[in-house]
Chains A and B, each alone.
Chain A
Amino acid sequence: MHTLTLAPLLALADLAATGDDDGPLVEAEPLAHAFGACVLMWKQDPSVPEIGTRKAYLPGVVLAGPRDARIAPGEPGIAAVEPNAAGDFLPQPDTPGFDAVHTFAVVRQTLTMYARALGAAGLAMPLPWQWNSSADTSPLRVFPHGLPDTQNAFYSRTQGSLRFGHFVPEGGSERVYSCRSFDIVSHETAHAILDGIKPRWLQANAPPQTGGLHEAFGDLSAIFLALSQLDQCDAIVAQTKASLHNKSYLADIAEQFGMALGNANSLRNADNDLRLGQAGVQVHAISQVFTGALYDVLADLFAYERAPEREDDAVVLHRVAAYLAGALLRALIAAPDEAASFADVANTLLTVVAQDGKPAAYGAFIRNQFSRREIVEAAHGGSAESAAFVPGVPLAAKVCDAPGARQDRRACCGTMQLAEYDCAGRRTAESVLAGEARLLARWCAEHGRHGPALPGISPMASPPALSGSNRDGAARDGAMLA
């Protein structure tokens, strides 16, 4: 796939700025026919009309469906959406075609956001789905209308898919489509991404906090994805007057869906004050503690980094959120492969910000917010007066899962193309996608992810960034989920 680089253009700009005409003439590389498509999507969902829809540019090959190398429409499902003459996907809202495009776009943006975050940290990887291997590069199948008359949406490793429900709320007349929720689509995509990294976290015998990490990552991904878009940062800054604890749509998760279920504002709220000792063992309930802690860290970091006299608040918010999203993903990757606790991730997050050379305030915010939530102790040893924080030494967990406790997924919290255009006349878009699939297969082979079609190949040592992740060749089917 062609990657457009600004380097040649910047070099030319430098030359123009300095007037240096003594050196060799530098010419920009001819720009390849740009891949990528514009899509129309909801910024949040149809119930948040003040921000409505937006056009977004997806900088990769997108074919009719829409589909690309990693994401494809489920079949049977919505009829494939064809791009317009410009290669864009711009159906009208409230149509099946729009739903297909919106859902694809959010899945793609979520995957791209985390791939970029790892790349920025020098840990570039394709974020394979759980079933991907050197022999299986199957995409994630997306069913925007996949659960008729159902108040739900889910990720299924067994089916390799995301399915989204639609229903008419009690006492209502308008059908609600969960796929139209930016938050819900990003949440379910995050489950698929995390399952590709930590396949044992979805096991039935995983402790409550491990299940809670999955759900929290889903809700936080929706927040980070919103903040990966500058226009949304701008809107949030205006709505909150640059204090993320002021009410805004950012902290509300799945507004329309939650209200359709009878909630006042949304399904869950990230700006909460729940503590671990209050949360019980239900995965969505307990997840809100972790989500709330990290949301507080985000608010703290934004307040700390703000410098409105020098830089626009929206730009700062965009940068801070991008950093924290990547730091969270790296912390999750570094956490134990089985039975990870909130404290495990709090400690790996502290390690990440220290390794990145961030100011001490970053670690202090994390310690403060995660200890306030009863996730970790605030410091090491001694009485409250004498206890001190020792950098590099993990903080003890404050509230632990009971020995042998299993996550409860029962009770509830109430909250929780151009079709064939080619590049420089050489490669068709299809061949580009095939090339991406080959790169994914090669990455899987290099990192010990050999599928069942290649028996007898011993797994390779895990790379540091992915210690102990999906090395067990776990079959997609068969295991029991709580």
Chain B
Amino acid sequence: MIISARASGGLAGRVRDYQLDTAARPDGAALETLLQRLDFFTAAPANPIGADVPRWEITVDDGARCHTVVVHEDGSDGEWQALFEHVRHAA
């Protein structure tokens, strides 16, 4: 799976782009399991109201499907937070 992500916003409003291939990573299998648990290809997460909450735009392509999700990092969902951490540490 190819994961493309852009993290933006927050107090500083900075932008960071990430791209990773699960097939080329030691934590790739764990990442794919996490995406399955999130049901990523049909996911439409609720988004919070607030200010300075970081915004993630994440696209996953598994060769057959490609889906983009916009989700905000407010720490309220452990599974999504785990995905953010995986992606962030892949940089």
Contact = CB atoms under 8 A, between A and B. Distances in A.
A223 B57 CA distance: 33
Interface in B14-66: 14-15, 46-55, 57
Per DSSP, are chain B's interface residues mostly helix, strand or loop, or mixed?
Answer: loop
A412 B13 CA distance: 5
Contact of B50 (A178, A202, A282, A283): A202
B86 interface: no
Contact of A154 (B6, B8, B10, B46): B10
Contact of B49 (A156, A188, A261): A156
Interface core residue of B12, B49, B51, B55 (most chain A CB under 10 Å)? B51
A322 interface: no
A155 B50 contact: yes
Contacts, number: 113
Interface residues of B, number: 24
Contacts of A478: 46
Interface core residue of B6, B12, B74 (most chain A CB under 10 Å)? B12
Interface residues of A, number: 47
Interface string A463-482: 00000000000001111111
A154 B74 contact: yes
A153 B49 contact: no
A379 to B, nearest CB: 34
A157 B75 CA distance: 13
Interface string A282-301: 11110000000000000000
Given A410-B8, A481-B47, A481-B72, A156 B53 contact: yes
A151 B9 CA distance: 11
Given A158-B74, A159-B76, A218 B12 contact: no
Contacts of A327: none
Contacts of B8: 409-412
Contacts of A215: 51
A164 to B, nearest CB: 10
A146 B53 contact: no
Interface of B: 6, 8-15, 46-55, 57, 72, 74-76
Given A188-B52, A215-B51, 19 more contacts: A151-B12, A152-B12, A154-B51, A156-B50, A158-B48, A159-B48, A163-B74, A191-B51, A202-B51, A267-B12, A282-B13, A409-B55, A412-B13, A414-B12, A414-B14, A477-B48, A481-B48, A481-B50, A482-B55
